[in-house]
Structure 1
Amino acid sequence: MSQAQQKPRKERKENAERRRRQLLDAARRSILAHGLARTTLATVAAEAGLSQGVAVFYFQSKGGLLTETLRDLYAQYDALWSGALERAGEDPVERLRAIIRADFHADACGPDILPLWFAFWGELRSTPEYDAVAAGFDARRRAALIGVWQALMADAPAGEAGQMADWMETLTDGYWQRLHLAPESFERAAAERASRVCIARLHPPLAGRIDRD
């Protein structure tokens, strides 16, 4: 294939990726503005400044678009915490601190992100496509957390690392809910700090290590 033929193909791929990104970002804005139920291919296309036909071309249906929007939301969160974990090195305490820090980053639970999480989570039980997306990402995250806790609790009975991972996820979910429902009275920095203090109390050997500022 000649260079002249390769360039248009590359440009078409880049244009397709750009349009897809436009529509996914527009879907988020539509959900924030109209709610999940009232978001349609038409509202998303309008937000993106594109025709509804373009949205249909890339996602076929409202369900397909919203499922991919949820997948994109999870993928960005996955990249956030897994990147933080990788940069933390091998010390399990630093790895745990890195995950907690990532959990309360604006890209994970900022005011334009939390409403999206709760909109989709409210539909998980009634929308198998959403549930399948969430289950895949949640399984990867739980496995990573268990790995960190196993390194911290090498001599603990089997299953305790999983229990700590579950408690940690429940703690994060609870603080995300508080940040979502009462953002004027609670801040992400306070939630991060409180999470570290709570985890140190759940696992006393971490006191003075994970809860330090």
Structure 2
Amino acid sequence: MAESRTKPRKERTENANRRRRQLLDAAKRSILAHGLARTTLATVAEEAGLSQGVAAFYFKSKNGLLAETLRDLYSQYEVLWMGALERAGSDPRDQLSALIATDFEAKACGPKVLPLWFAFWGELRFSAQYAEVAQEFDQRRREALTRVWDALIQNGASGDADELCDWMETLTDGYWQHLHIAPGGMTRARAERAARVCLARLVPALVGSIDADK
């Protein structure tokens, strides 16, 4: 009897997760096709092949859906860079190199992702929901980067960990913007190499240790 009661609940949960995944993916496609302002529950439902009522059931409103879409975008990015850190091992130079590589993967800044980042970032000043989501994920990223830079400083790099974090994030943001605005003039591989060279020059102790000539 216990199994018969729990199985339907499990199936309902799985179905709900599937629907939410459908709608979040559809929201991203809608933003790419229509822009953030013109994305609605109706355009998302159409992209997902579901009724608008289903979209409203799971996310209540357009703002709720878009805030969760931004959270999903950050979550997928976080899985990428956290996984890279874990695979890199304990050497902070390897960790830094892995983070740079991950920042220029297609899953982080490819043509189907960058327009989403910039669409949401353009609204951070005007949406407390978006700003709250961004702050949550940015804080975890900052804490992880600070730990890496603190370890590098102990191993001979000079500078302040907070300032070095700023440099690294500014490089990434700048190259992402270049890739977004003028994709014909920059490639992800070229942007990654340029970021490596710049960091190696800013922090001479890293020369040769983060594949500056990659």
TM-score norm. by structure 1 comes to: 0.97
Equivalent position of 1:17 in the other structure: 17
* Local SS of the residue matching 1:112: coil
2:95 pairs with 1:95: yes
Runs of 4 or more above 6 Å deviation: 155-159
Structure 2 unaligned spans of 5+: none
Q: CA RMSD in A?
A: 1.5
Which residue does the alignment assign to 2:57? 57
- Find the aligned partners of 2:195 and 2:156 in 1 and give their Cα distance: 22
Q: Match of 1:45? A: 45
Distance 2:133 2:71 in 1: 6
| Equivalent position of 2:166 in the other structure | 166
Greater shift in the superposed pair: 181-190 or 48-57: 181-190
Q: What is the percent sequence identity of the aligned residues? A: 68
C-alpha offsets along residues 6-39 of structure 1, whole Å, 9 cap, x if unaligned? 2111111000000000000000000000000000
Gaps of 5+ in 1: none
CA drift of 1:173 comes to 0.1
3-state SS of the aligned residue for 1:146?
helix
**1:180 to 2:180 alignment:** yes
Asked if the contact 2:157/2:204 (under 8 Å) is kept, the reply is: no
Query: Using the alignment, how far apart are the partners of 2:158 and 2:130 within structure 1?
Result: 32
TM-score, normalised relative to structure 2: 0.96
What does residue 136 of structure 1 align with? Answer: 136
Report the residue type matching 1:196 in the other structure.
R
Inter-partner Cα distance in structure 2 for 1:158 and 1:182: 34
Task: Tell me by how many angstroms 1:145 deviates.
Answer: 0.5
Distance (Å, rounded) in 2 between the aligned partners of 1:163 and 1:16: 44
Counterpart CA distance in 1 for 2:80 and 2:125 is: 26
